A and B are shown apart, each in its own frame.
Chain A
Amino acid sequence: MNGKNYYSRRFFLKTSGALAALAAIPATVKSFYMDAKRLIIPPRQKQPLIVKVNKQTHKLDVDTRTTLLDLLREDLHLTGTKKGCDHGQCGACTVHVNGERVLSCLTLAATLPGKEVTTIEGLADGDQLHPMQAAFLECDGFQCGYCTPGQIMSAVACVKEGHTKSVAEIKEFMSGNLCRCGAYNGIVASIQKVAK
């Protein structure tokens, strides 16, 4: 730890407490608070992690701030999972964690011990495409392909969840996966094909 810049959590709590007490003199408080903030640069923290991705076990040391999405893309070079917003707003990063669809950008890697992650790269069985992948290919359920891995992971889950009784239901349950190319016709058709 870097002695010069290290301040304990206690110090911070104490400082914050002092701030609360001094709330009546805002100008001073603000500058005091700014000074305090300037000194507290927490060092990076790493945590050991054992996680299974696409049936393969990885032993890693992860930055506690790293999301599952960045772990996949930057550390494991599994770039099939896409970053479209990093804020849980687009679905491009959808993967399966223990078989459920999950937004990997909203999942901290540190929360994963013991969990099983499946990404788009783990969906096919060797050379044999997953039926949903084949359906997307056949129904042209994409254009640029950037939202596609997320769409496919969601679509597989959508079928499993049984939300495929009508076009309207499919559309509703696939609306967390944005497609700016607007390939929604083909996405719905692909799901209908697999759900049959």
Chain B
Amino acid sequence: MGLFNTKNKAAGKPDGRVEGIAKVTGAGKYAAEYKVDNMCHAVFAGSTIAAGTIKSIYLDNAKQVEGVLDIITHLNKPAVPGFASETKLKETRFGLPLFHTDKVYFRNQPVAMVVADTLENATYAASLIEFTYQEDTPTVDFKKAHPSVPLKMQGKERGSLDAWSNAPQVVDQQYDIAAEVHNPMEMHATIAHWTADDKLVLYDKTQGVVNVQRTIAKIFEIPQENIEVFSEFVGGGFGSGLRVWTNGVGAVMAAKAVKRPVKLMLTRSQMFSLTGYRPAAWQRVKLGADNDGKFLGIHHQGKNGTSVFEPFQEGITSITRMVYNFDNLKAEQSIVPLNLGTPTWMRGPGDCTGAFAVECAIDELSYQLNMDPVALRLKNFAITHDPENKKPYSSNFIDECITKGAEMIDWKQRKQQPGALTEGDWKIGYGVAVGMWGAGRGNASAGITMEKDGTMTVKTAMTDIGTGTGTAMQNMTHTFTGMPKDKIKIALGHSTLPTAGSQGGSTGLSSISGAVSAVCDALKKQLADYAAAINPAYKDAKPADVLLSATGVSLKTDKNEFVSLADIWQKNNLTDISVKASSGPGAERQQYAFCCSTAHFVKVRVNTKTGKVKVERAICVADGGTIVNEKPAANQISGAIVGGIGMALMEEIHADEKLGNLVGNDLAGYHFAVNADAPIIEVAFINKPDPYVNPSGAKGLGEVGIIGCAPAIANAIYNATGKRLRDLPITPDKVLV
């Protein structure tokens, strides 16, 4: 179970992630890949309208398809207790009463589900189901819908708008961002297997097995501990795996109905409607400064789209409160219901959206002031204290990030005058922007089992979605205990392992590092106690004094007091040792504010004939505290930049205004950055430990890498062309207009 085989290492295999061999050989099992006896397949049929009511369903054709076991619709569904009433539905926090309503809220909403012996039969049968509807007019165009939705105060106002009404320098602009879809490469999938009337095994693509347990328990009203969830390998998430979606609930319903294990994997097109997205956003930023570039105040307004059946608000204006010193700050937000699926957190949620507007507005101000945008930012950073709650930052190196990044890209080459660098049809420009994210930490537990030969398995329920959590756990365990890495195995992503929260919000590493540190101490203490039966020098040994090796324990104070593991086992009559420990944030959270940050620098080429934008260099300097594992950490950041390039230049969902359907909802129609769209990305770290965040000093990096990337690109395009483009994505048509 989730045991990553490290034995190849001994055979002289290259160093890599703990789960690396499983990934490069195809042996690692993702949700849809478990072999379960007697399994059948479920496929959704989606609504062909975006708003209205189902009037009739014609199933006869579909029923004739060979191998069809059942077809579930709202008319014949096995009743799900969590969907029995409005109140219950609210409690489940699931949003959509799947197959428990005749209402259609968005196009492609699952309105029927075929269960059949094979995927081919289920897919064919689903295509034969016909519906008639009473159709309403859908609202899907965010840009058209948002002006009529009023704004509401968001958080407390700092100072007042009046205080800077006479600011000599003002930028007042509006910014738009199209909706983006996470599109992890693995499509969301679930295998559901009822092993008894109230016992369920799930193989699910998720960023948090405990969240799946909790949600499914609520919806089906069975005890949480009766649900076993496997999510050992997760093919990306970027936020889409932080919720349970219809594939999970659908598979469980289907398995109950046909009394067989059921696999349900969404199609790529369904992924666009059924697993969340970063909602479209509109923002207005009014920024005031004095003539020397000192910021006087900011007024930030933002709206984002949501579904008609579930409110979802992005924290668009939160980042405005953290990065710079604004004595006066007012934020307003609202949400705009649309006939689309419900959006959800997507990498750098809220901050990524907010940073686009704020970082572009600051850039606009820099040109207005004729001041270097790096210098302008350095002048206004809030380095020592969180400007919102006035707590001192535990550590904040955003200034070092921007200074180092400027050096790396050779910022001197940039011309303050836009459009000054030209090569044939290409215009060249440089851009900068920064990102910040609160360095969170949650509660987490971990366990260690030590076998006779000294092999240790470090376990937690947390998933590794590609962030390198497992590898980091191995590194930390090695650091904390001294045990060689090839003796440390990792088990992850299974609900019976020690509880931990979801891998999300960049808290995974931070939370788990505390748990690993605690469990390593527990193991050392336990070993010292056992060793004391052999050697009295261990009697009052503290965990910090105990060192492990492949063969035994010794004391830091006196290496000669070695006790072999063999002796420990024998003397204490043991077969193995198991310890468990938990940890979480403490009083430090009352005293300090925590953040991680990035500075992004890009050099772009813009073709004046075709409008093509080529990112020639992309540099990111990040403050993520101690870097526990450099390669995966750099990989996280460069991957985030690839995401940022997509956000800036290509990613957008189009919805057809009349039909309410998404246009181009596949990987040919929806572009994100391919290999050739990204340069070799240059990443550097400040790599200084944060003294208070957690025992490892590491701050999460998953989100902050993408925050600030898109505005850096937009700012570079302005520097290259003199065109200020405030509407993402910046596609060639916009560049050419």
Contacts and interface: CB of A to CB of B under 8 A. Distances in A.
Interface of A: 2, 5, 38, 41, 43-44, 63, 65-66, 70, 73-74, 77-87, 89-90, 92, 119-121, 123-124, 127, 129, 133-138, 140, 142-149, 152, 167-168, 170-172, 174-188
A154 to B, nearest CB: 10
Contacts of B237: 144
Interface of B: 8, 11, 13-17, 19-30, 32-33, 35, 60-61, 64-67, 118-121, 124, 128, 182-187, 233-238, 265, 267-268, 465-468, 631-632, 634-636, 638-643, 666-668, 672-678, 680-681
A84 B678 contact: no
Nearest to A185: B638
A81 B26 contact: yes
Contacts of B676: 168, 171-172, 174-175
Contacts of B186: 82, 84, 144, 146
Contacts of A180: 182-185, 236, 238, 643, 672
A174 B25 contact: no
A140 B465 CA distance: 15
Contacts of A123: 25
Contact of B674 (A63, A127, A178, A183): A178
Contacts of B185: 82, 84, 90, 92, 144, 146-147, 178-181
Given A44-B120, A119-B26, A178-B674, A143 B666 contact: no
B470 to A, nearest CB: 12
A126 B267 CA distance: 34
A71 to B, nearest CB: 11
A84 B268 contact: yes
Nearest to B267: A86
A185 B680 contact: yes
A54 to B, nearest CB: 11
A175 B466 contact: no
Contacts of B8: 127, 129
B23 A145 contact: yes
A184 B642 contact: yes
Interface of A is mostly: loop
Nearest to A74: B119
A177 B185 CA distance: 10
A146 B65 contact: no
Contacts of B32: 73, 79, 83
A174 B675 contact: yes
A38 B61 contact: yes
A79 B265 contact: no
14 contacts: A66-B120, A85-B666, A87-B668, A89-B268, A129-B25, A140-B17, A143-B467, A145-B23, A145-B233, A145-B235, A178-B185, A179-B185, A182-B639, A184-B678
Given A178-B667, A181-B466, A44 B234 contact: no
B232 to A, nearest CB: 11
Nearest to A80: B26
A119 B156 CA distance: 58
Contact of B236 (A41, A89, A144): A144
A175 B675 contact: yes
Contacts of B183: 180
Contact of B675 (A82, A90, A133, A187): A187
Contacts of B641: 182
Given A79-B30, A182-B643, A143 B636 contact: yes
Given A144-B236, A146-B236, A179 B675 contact: yes
B61 A41 contact: yes
A133 B634 CA distance: 20
B239 to A, nearest CB: 12
Contacts of B64: 2, 5, 41
A100 B496 CA distance: 43
A74 to B, nearest CB: 6
A142 B128 CA distance: 40
Contact of B13 (A85, A137, A176): A137
A70 B123 CA distance: 13
Nearest to B271: A85
B256 to A, nearest CB: 22
Contacts of A89: 268, 666-668
B464 to A, nearest CB: 8
